[in-house]
Amino acid sequence: MKKLILTATLALSASVAAAETEIRVHYAIPTIWTETQEKLSEAFMEANPDIKVILDGPAESYADGVQRLLRESVAGTAPDVAYVGLNRWRILEDRGLTQTLDGFLPEDTDAAGYTPALLSLGQYQGEQHAMGTSASTMVLYVNPELVEQAGVSMDDFPTDFDGIIELAAKIDALGDNIEGVWIGRHDWRFQSLLGSHGGRPLTADETDITFDSDAGLAAASLYSRFRNEGGMSSMTQNDARQAFPAGTLGMFFESSSLLKRFEEGSAGNFELAVKGTPVVAEENVYFPTGGSAITLLTDDAQKQAAAWEYISFITGPEGQKIIVENTGYAPANKIVLDDESYLGAYYAANPTAKVGHAQVAAHAGPWYAYPGAEGVAVTDLIGAALVELSEGADVEETISVLADTVRNKLSMN
Amino acid sequence: MIRRWTTDLILVGPAALAVVLFIFLPVAVVFVLAFTDYQFGARSANWIGLENFGDLFGSRLGRNAIFNTLIYAAIVIPASVGLGLIVAIGLHDLTKRMPRFSQALKAIYFLPVAATLVAMAVSWQMLMHPSLGLLNHWAVSLGLQPQQWLSDRDLVLYSLAAIGIWQSVGYNMVLFLAGLTAIPHALYDASEVDGARGGWSRFWLVTWPMLGPTTLFVVIVTAANAFRVFETVATMTAGGPAFASDTIVYALYREGFVYFKAGYASAITVVFFLALLLLTAIQILLIERRVHYR
Amino acid sequence: MKPSTMITAGLLAIGAAMILLPFIWMVSVSVKPHAEVFTTEVALLPKNPTLQNYWHAISQTDIPLYLLNGAIVTGGILVLQLLVTVPAAYALAHREFVGRNVMFAGIVAALLVPFHVTAIPIFIGLAEFRLLNTYTALIIPFVATAFGLFLLRQAFARIPKELVDAARIDGMSEMGIAWRVAFPLGMPTVIAFSIFSVTAHWNDLFWPLIATTDPDLATPPRGILFFRDEESGDDIGPLMAGATLITAPLVIGFLMAQKRFTQGLASAGLKG
């Protein structure tokens, strides 16, 4: 009903004002983004009355979003601007769908709050193809009640993986349907563990796989240790996301962007706590940054100009303030972090958000995408190998078979 | 004469055009694409001969999808045909003695056939939730081990098969009931004269042979549907975990519309299609032979 | 009553209960208040039933839009199928024309082709004509129905030749005979086919998943998946209310016209 009324009103209002430039915007993950996107486009249109933003119906996930953009470009109905996963704009770039932003960026990027690190999230071979709009890293969500029930005080909460595994086993022993720890069998989670051990999935020139290094094996072995020593079950991502707020899962490695949802979901059941992902290596540590980037797709000059107005608003301090306040993502513009007038009040009211944002500030790094047409298929293969590990497969063998398969698929021999 | 032709053309033209355009032409195209490396959106494609088929049968993933589909079918076909027959015989017996009750049961068994499978799959998914689902709740209160119905790689295919059976029993029951009603009562009387008193001997002597053609039809229909399983996979597992519930039609969808490998997906389509044709050929052959024996 | 009858009835009733389980669960969760859904105590039946979730599903989500899309798509498909199929089936049954046998053989051959086989080329064709992501894409591929042509031809062939000839002598046009004589006389088959067609397309997920990416065009099964992923399992009450609303039209139709439904759906076995 909501949309029916909305469509009717839109149709009416569209006939009233026709002289303005319209830009169509694509985004994904409605749970996190729908309200925020509506607020963003309202605020933007208020500041730029001559530009009209039309939000496409959202895609379910970043993966679906990119597929949809590719399909729409086949069909000739691609939008003008698209929010895509930080690891996925390369898929669009690879097929020549993104327009370079170099001609639009201001001379002094630092003054605009775009630090080199933040810009690096959207650069490939020296060209700016995307701008980060929101950032997240993997944190550890904790159910303090289960921790206390297991006989451990939250003040003594472990800071390394060994301690977490030990605690997980204690929580797991509390009951039949109580789980100790859970982590997704997913490329990004694996890259996070890898980065914590100082490893990288690919060489810098992207000509070879490097996750079969010692760091990679150590990261991968956590999956089997979580299972063997911590009693991690084989439930699915969705199961876990339901189990944690319901209070049946003790510790959950997940994206910092889910904070708001878990807080709402667990309200009344328990008060959740957030911890950083343990850092293992002494140097080279990074956490792959999830979140979204914004890309320019239209090749129409007039639309491009309007679209850049939109992009700079979103990546500027005003847009970033709206994004942080509504989603809990860490900001992708330095001005909002430095200038207390933007988010000071927010952090005072949301101390749990600070953990994730501090982690971004300390260790943010790129979320590696596997190059070429098989890039998406490869992440599915990695996910499948992680499932095998979490069911007790031999770490060294699984990872070396996986690395060979991936090399083969990506023609890296 | 020309008027006659025009009339014919107006009457059958649209239908003939539609069938050619949306059935025959696409089938021809898919057979061509299967020998290319075409990707959706690409401007060109290369002729690569049998490479796609080599990949399908040669790769772990390809063989896995075929194998999973066969296992799924091997469970669903006998179970849903068998259960459909049992329920039909039971209901047939009850029709005279408890007509209302048997009518109600018949409606219930048929319900899943009419219901929207995707919506029901969402409900099944909740029933099968590892910690919040009813199935595990019951299992625990009966002192059994709770199961990861949809995320245990060794179990997920069987869970999906159970839902496949749940969905098709009613359909088979209806076909068997029609077959049972068509058996003349005189045959049972005659068998009694021959000494077949018990239920079992009556079944083997009269019911089973007389149901032969129906059973064959039911088996073929169930098989064709089992090989096509897609909705439950797409809704509940997306082929996972780790491709443990990847089936041939889901692989077709994944390779074609998620990975955009239209050529490879066409090869999967061709294999799928030929397998179904083989099934039909077997059906025709069996029916021919049956006719000969009579 | 004989004990064996009681045992049969009992066993069949247990089986029926298992068949009903997901239906009961769906409806039960749909009337559970939020607090009863996410608890570690799992109960089959709600303690404090409420219609809140239905109100939420109707007013706060796009479920009504999905239902409307379902009606547009299934209705569009059925109307076009009948418009194209009825005259052709009539001609196949009652007219001699060049290529008639070829066409009938073609239809029987086409019966063997499941829709999945034609999906990739049809997707490419629709993309070429910029038709993906439209109602047209959801409707037009199904206008060609070998099953409908076959079923209706068989039904119309049972209409006596004399009746058709009489209509011709009365001066009726051929199109007029197809619609005013054959169509009403073949009505039971037409209804069976219509039930089959509406059920198949209302419940289909495969093609909507491929042909559309816009949630505003989602048919009921596609929509329920959008809804589920949007809420990601946090809001199961409204999700189940939505699932119930989407399943309801066909289930109610079935309960009201069991015989016709059973006929229509059982005949589908003839299709490849």
Q: What is the pLDDT of residues A346-372, one digit of tens each?
A: 888 888 887 888 787 778 788 888 877
- The span from the CA of B56 to the CA of A371, in Å, is 23
Q: Is C35 in CB contact (< 8 Å) with chain A?
A: yes
Whole-number pLDDT of residue A7: 52
C-beta separation of B149 from B161 below 8 A: no
- The span from the CA of A253 to the CA of A65, in Å, is 24
Q: Which residue has the higher pLDDT, C177 or A354?
A: C177
Whole-number pLDDT of residue A14: 47
Q: What mean pLDDT do residues C15-40 have?
A: 86
Q: Is B284 in CB contact (< 8 Å) with chain C?
A: no
> pLDDT digits over B207-258, tens only?
888 888 888 888 888 988 899 999 999 999 988 788 999 999 999 999 998 8
Question: Is B117–C203 a contact, with Cβ atoms under 8 angstroms apart?
Answer: yes
Which chain A residues are within 8 Å of B132, Cβ to Cβ?
Answer: 242-243, 246, 248
Asked whether the predicted pLDDT for residue C56 surpasses 80, the reply is yes
Choose the closest CB to C118 out of B27, B108, B231.
Answer: B27
Determine the distance in angstroms separating the CA of C251 from the nearest CA of chain A, rounded to an integer.
Answer: 23
Q: Is A31 in CB contact (< 8 Å) with chain C?
A: yes
Q: What mean pLDDT do residues C173-197 have?
A: 91
Taking CA–CA distances from B143, the nearest residue in chain A reads A176
Q: Which residue has the higher pLDDT, A373 or B93?
A: B93
Q: What mean pLDDT do residues B14-26 have?
A: 95
Over its C-alpha atoms, chain B yields an Rg (Å, rounded) of 24
Taking CA–CA distances from A243, the nearest residue in chain B reads B131
Question: Is B11–C91 a contact, with Cβ atoms under 8 angstroms apart?
Answer: yes
Question: Is B243–A242 a contact, with Cβ atoms under 8 angstroms apart?
Answer: no
Whole-number pLDDT of residue A235: 86
Which range has the worst mean pLDDT, A3-17, B41-55, C27-41? A3-17
Question: Is A387–B136 a contact, with Cβ atoms under 8 angstroms apart?
Answer: no
Token match 């009457």: residue? B11
Which chain A residues are within 8 Å of B40, Cβ to Cβ?
Answer: 70-71, 74
Whole-number pLDDT of residue C230: 66
Query: What pTM did the predictor assign?
Result: 0.85
Which chain A residues are within 8 Å of B139, Cβ to Cβ?
Answer: none
Choose the closest CB to A236 out of B150, B243, B260.
Answer: B150
Determine the distance in angstroms separating the CA of A329 from the nearest CA of chain B, rounded to an integer.
Answer: 28
pLDDT > 70 in chain C, percent: 94
Q: What is the mean pLDDT of chain A?
A: 87
- The span from the CA of B273 to the CA of B259, in Å, is 21
Q: Establish whether the linkage from the previous residue to B241 is cis, with ω within 30° of 0.
A: yes
Whole-number pLDDT of residue B289: 65
Q: Can you tell me the ipTM of this complex?
A: 0.89
Which range has the worst mean pLDDT, B7-16, B84-93, C180-189, C230-239? C230-239
- The span from the CA of B92 to the CA of B108, in Å, is 15
pLDDT > 90 in chain A, percent: 46
Which range has the worst mean pLDDT, A78-92, A298-312, B62-76, C29-43? C29-43
Q: Is C85 in CB contact (< 8 Å) with chain B?
A: yes
Size of interface A-B (CB pairs under 8 A): 73
Taking CA–CA distances from B155, the nearest residue in chain A reads A234
Q: What mean pLDDT do residues B24-30 have?
A: 96
Q: Are strands A179-183 and A138-142 parallel, antiparallel or unpaired?
A: unpaired
Which chain A residues are within 8 Å of C133, Cβ to Cβ?
Answer: 72, 75, 77
Chains with ≥3 CB–CB distances under 8 Å to B? A, C
Q: What is the mean pLDDT of chain B?
A: 88
- The span from the CA of C221 to the CA of B236, in Å, is 13
> pLDDT digits over A322-347, tens only?
998 888 788 888 888 778 888 888 88
Phi, psi of A105, rounded to the nearest 5 degrees: -60, 145
Interface residue of A234, A238, A370 to substitute, partner B, most B CBs within 10 Å: A234
B:61-90 residues touching chain A, CB 8 A cutoff:
none
* Per-residue DSSP letter, C268: G
pLDDT band with cut points at 50, 70 and 90 for residue A195 = very high
Question: Is C12–B105 a contact, with Cβ atoms under 8 angstroms apart?
Answer: yes
Size of interface B-C (CB pairs under 8 A): 261
> pLDDT digits over B141-166, tens only?
888 888 889 988 889 999 999 999 99
- The span from the CA of C63 to the CA of C215, in Å, is 11
Choose the closest CB to B130 out of A73, A233, A385.
Answer: A233
pLDDT band with cut points at 50, 70 and 90 for residue A265 = confident
Which range has the worst mean pLDDT, A281-285, B118-122, C35-39? C35-39
Phi, psi of B259, rounded to the nearest 5 degrees: -95, -10
Whole-number pLDDT of residue A18: 46
b/e map A149-163, b = 16+ CB within 10 Å: ebebeeeebbeebee
> pLDDT digits over C132-153, tens only?
889 999 999 999 999 999 989 9
Q: Which residue has the higher pLDDT, B40 or C156?
A: C156
Determine the distance in angstroms separating the CA of B181 from the nearest CA of chain C, rounded to an integer.
Answer: 15
Residues 6+ apart with CB under 8 A from B216: B283, B286, B287, B290
Instruction: Work out the number of other CB atoms within 10 angstroms of the CB of residue C51.
Output: 10
Q: Is B260 in CB contact (< 8 Å) with chain A?
A: yes
Asked whether the predicted pLDDT for residue A266 surpasses 90, the reply is no
Asked whether the predicted pLDDT for residue A120 surpasses 60, the reply is yes
Asked whether the predicted pLDDT for residue B284 surpasses 80, the reply is no
> pLDDT digits over A23-75, tens only?
999 999 887 788 899 999 999 999 999 999 999 988 878 878 888 898 888 77
Asked whether the predicted pLDDT for residue C52 surpasses 90, the reply is no
Q: What is the amino acid identity at position B195? A: G
Which range has the worst mean pLDDT, A15-29, A292-306, A379-393, C118-132? A15-29
Which chain B residues are within 8 Å of A185, Cβ to Cβ?
Answer: 241-242
Asked whether the predicted pLDDT for residue A311 surpasses 60, the reply is yes
Phi, psi of A182, rounded to the nearest 5 degrees: -150, 145
Over its C-alpha atoms, chain C yields an Rg (Å, rounded) of 23
Q: Is B204 in CB contact (< 8 Å) with chain A?
A: no
Determine the distance in angstroms separating the CA of B57 from the nearest CA of chain C, rounded to an integer.
Answer: 19
Which chain C residues are within 8 Å of A254, Cβ to Cβ?
Answer: none
Taking CA–CA distances from B249, the nearest residue in chain C reads C116
- The span from the CA of B248 to the CA of B67, in Å, is 9
Asked whether the predicted pLDDT for residue C272 surpasses 50, the reply is no
pLDDT band with cut points at 50, 70 and 90 for residue A17 = very low
Question: Is B41–A177 a contact, with Cβ atoms under 8 angstroms apart?
Answer: no
